[in-house]
Amino acid sequence: MKFKLEKVYYMPKQLEPGVLYYTEEFRTCAHLCACGCGAKVRTPISPVEWTIIESDKGPSLYPSVGNWQLKCRSHYWINAGKVKWASQWTEEEILSGRLAEQSRRMEYYEIRGQENRSFILRFWNWLKTLF
Same structural domain, 32 and 50: yes
Same structural domain, 21 and 43: yes
Same structural domain, 18 and 78: yes
Same structural domain, 81 and 101: no
The dihedral through the CA atoms of 55, 28, 33, 93 has a sign that is positive
Query: What average pLDDT does this structure show over 14-25?
Result: 97
**Boundaries of domain holding 25:** 1-87
Same structural domain, 100 and 115: yes
The domain total for the chain is 2
Check pLDDT > 70 for residue 114.
no
Same structural domain, 75 and 117: no
- Non-local (6+) Cβ contacts of 46 within 8 A are 27
Same structural domain, 48 and 94: no
Task: State which of 71, 87, 103 marks the end of a domain.
Answer: 87
Residue at 36: amino acid letter: G
Same structural domain, 101 and 78: no
Check pLDDT > 90 for residue 120.
no
pLDDT digits (tens, 9 = 90+) for 59-90: 999 999 999 889 999 999 999 999 999 988 89
pTM of the complete model: 0.76
Are 43 and 28 a contacting pair, CB within 8 Å?
yes
Same structural domain, 81 and 118: no
Same structural domain, 63 and 114: no
Same structural domain, 80 and 110: no
Query: What average pLDDT does this structure show over 97-109?
Result: 82
Task: State which of 87, 105, 120 marks the end of a domain.
Answer: 87
Same structural domain, 99 and 124: yes
Tell me what pLDDT residue 108 has: 73
